[in-house]
Chains A and B, each alone.
Chain A
Amino acid sequence: MQITRRTFATLALGAFLAACAESASSADRSAVSSGPVPSDWDAVLSEARGQTVNWYLWGGSESINRFVDDTYGPVLRDRYGITLNRVPIADTVDAVNQVLADDQANNPRGAVDLIWINGENFSTLRDAGLLLDGWARALPNASLVDWANTAVNRDFGVEVGDLESPWSSAQFQLVYDTARTNVDELPRSYAQLLDWACAHPGRFTYIAPGPGAFQGTRFVKGALFEISGDASQWQQFDQALWDRWAPELWEYLHGLSACAWRNGETYPKDEAELHRLFANGEVDFTITQAAVGASALIADGLVPTTAKAFVFDHNSIGDFNYVAIPGNASNKAAAMVLANLLLDPSMQAAQIVPANGFGLGYAIDPAQVTEPAARRALDEAAAALGSGAADPSEMAAALVGDAAAPYQDLVESGWRRELVGGL
């Protein structure tokens, strides 16, 4: 008895240590790779077979995590022999820092193979020359992307070039509760929003702009666009333009904060906090970026089932999300296969269906898809957007591109200085 118990304990300990060794080494496991060339796609596929692609992406939404694991993971494994290792990070800055650290350590086998990236983080890595160039537009499915569209070929005003491949799209929307607020009473511009907020003191707030809270930054930029009367002028960075309009922006926001939740003394620090305030009836609006509007939030249990998205008549900022491959990535071929898979029409259709929980919009131009099965998949997905979605034609009519990247920091640090007067 004593002996069998001891044997069992030894075996269990051994198995556990093996699991530990696995988890300890997985961070370091990688194979050296020469740079594959996507124009020779078969060579890329054969090099990718057997690789593990370490995809760093924001891990804050469990429905997105699940979508990534369940949708791309099995296809990569079964069709291409690639293992997907999704690395969840609290903020994309962490992936950027990892790439910078690998570079500083002269590590040719970097930990990051693919990053879900956007805007400021993209321009940081681009300016440091740490991104793989000359692959995105050569991917087989890149032909479905409308590269001529400035919303696609510029990421926060920065030339995308051949450094990034699009994954999905997002557009700024507000969410209200149809059980609480009548659709006719909704504000349809920033000016009306100010009136609404002061008619309903304490019932409106937005997310404090800052790192990890870009929806708040986007809300403020939308106000800037409306106040200045022209969204397109912000595509190029111009300090004088900023200096001209910033005072009026702060004046507007001060007016808003006087009527806002907690008299504008504080603001929710992230999406989750604003959703919680909205769901519990502390405020009447929340913010989303999803193509399916509130539907994904409803499916997640974050907001009441009666929630619905809407947009202002103008200046609803939209953009594309991209993936990029660091120059020091260990598994470049597998990263390219994954980036190409993301653009596959069946995958694009899957990502807008609310039940799948991803809820961001297309990266491809659906009009370019002619193959019948793929067409059908896209049409079916479009028909299933759910009750929480905003009117697609209103969204399209209000869509504008985001401002150039340098404005991001001006808005965030300026907001902190002017609106909260602190660090």
Chain B
Amino acid sequence: MKRDRRRTSGRELLGLVPVLLVVGGLSIAALVDALASSISAEGSDAVGLAVFRTVLGLPGFWASFWFSLYVALSGTLLATAGAVVLGHRWCTRPRGRRTAQTLLHFNLGVPHLVWAVALVALLSPSGWLSRVTSLLGLDSGIDGFPVLVNDPYGIGIVLHLASKELPFVLLATLPLTGVATRRSLAQGATLGAGTASQIRHIYLPAIAPVLIPATIASFAFGLGGYEPGAALGVQRPRTLAVVALEWFRSPDLTMRHRAFAVAVVLMATVALASVVLLAMTRSWWTMRATPHRREGVRA
């Protein structure tokens, strides 16, 4: 209502140019580069899918792929679910919210690398938690403590992604949990809707415009982030991001084509996952009674 609906002048549109040039220019160039490099054959100008065939045919590629996909999906799912439950709770029972919010902001500021280091110090079999449990006689020392980081099931990476992306998703969706949303939730409660029903029919549709991009962004990081896999992963299988960076930095320049081929595979996976997610959540969009304005674009 405060926003006037006059036509945007050409001069104002000019203001968008530098931002689009830097962000769009560089990231689209990066995309094109990745594509171009991955379809040019090693050591020749011929264009083709030879590099993809090589990479996809390498022993262990699919193990790494499924492993990367699994940790990214699990981490994102946990983070998003946690963010939704916690965000809904904050709307209905705001007690302790301020402290929690400050803590989550703090967590958001901690770089991934440091968070991973902290997880190792806490959760490794000789880490602090294990020292406490063995002091208390809860297990038989190092051997008795479960392997939670650098483990073959990727528990460490999933924990990392979940704990680091939850604040991101939650804080991104907060601007959409204003008075209107809370009023709808209160009405729902009066009409007898349980927590699950409130979340499903009121809360999710309200935050969907930010929740969905934020979820995709955390999935993209889960799949393509280097730090978690490097610090918390195992040697078999390594995440594709770790492999891609190692190949990219190899002095053997033909490995760069392979690195870009992996990058393209990762990008395609994110794109596919986005399409699936959007299709799955279509009902939320149609359910939205009052379309929100762009207040919440800070995803």
Q: Tell me if chains A and B make direct contact, with any CB pair below 8 A.
A: yes
Residues of A within 8 A of B (CB): 91, 93-94, 96-97, 100, 120-121, 124, 202, 208, 210-211, 262, 265-267, 269, 276-277, 280-282, 416-417, 420-423
Q: How far is the CB of A181 from chain B (nearest CB, A)?
A: 16
Q: Does B60 contact A (CB under 8 A)?
A: yes
B81 contacts the other chain (Cβ, under 8 Å)?
A: no
Chain B residues with a Cβ under 8 A of chain A: 58-61, 63-64, 124-126, 142-143, 147, 150, 152, 230, 234-238, 240, 243, 246, 249-251
Cross-chain contact of A267 among B60, B125, B235, B237 (Cβ < 8 A): B235
Contacts of B126 in A (CB 8 A): 276-277, 280-282
A282 surroundings in chain B (CB, below 8 A): 125-126, 142
Partner of B58, one of A94, A100, A423: A423
Give chain B's interface secondary structure class.
Answer: loop
Nearest A residue (CB) for B55: A423
- Are A422 and B237 in contact, with the CB atoms below 8 A? yes
Min CB distance, B281 to chain A, in Å? 33
Asked, given contacts A208-B235, A280-B126, whether A422 binds B63 with beta carbons under 8 Å apart, the answer is yes
**Least Cβ distance of A120 to chain B in Å?**
8
Report if A262-B250 is in contact (Cβ < 8 Å); known contacts: A269-B235, A282-B142, A421-B236.
no
Chain B nearest Cβ from A51, distance in angstroms = 28
With A208-B235, A422-B63 known to touch, is A121 a contact of B251 (CB < 8 Å)? Answer: yes
Can you report 28 A-B residue pairs in the complex whose CB atoms are below 8 A from each other?
A: A93-B251, A96-B251, A97-B251, A121-B251, A210-B246, A211-B249, A211-B250, A262-B147, A265-B234, A266-B150, A266-B235, A266-B236, A269-B230, A269-B235, A281-B142, A282-B126, A282-B142, A417-B59, A420-B60, A420-B235, A420-B236, A421-B59, A421-B236, A422-B237, A422-B238, A423-B63, A423-B240, A423-B243
CB distance from B174 to the nearest CB of A (A): 34
Specify which chain A residues have a CB less than 8 angstroms from the CB of B234 in the assembled complex: 265-266
Q: Which residues of B contact A267 (CB under 8 A)?
A: 235
Q: When chains A and B are docked, how far (Å) is the Cα of A265 from the Cα of B58? A: 20
Within the complex, the shortest CB–CB distance from B269 to chain A, in Å, comes to 16
Query: Would you call A422 and B64 a contact (CB within 8 A)?
Result: yes
Q: With A and B bound together, what is the CA distance between A59 and B195 in angstroms?
A: 54
- Which are the 6 A-B pairs with shortest beta-carbon distances? A422-B60, A280-B126, A266-B234, A420-B236, A423-B243, A266-B235
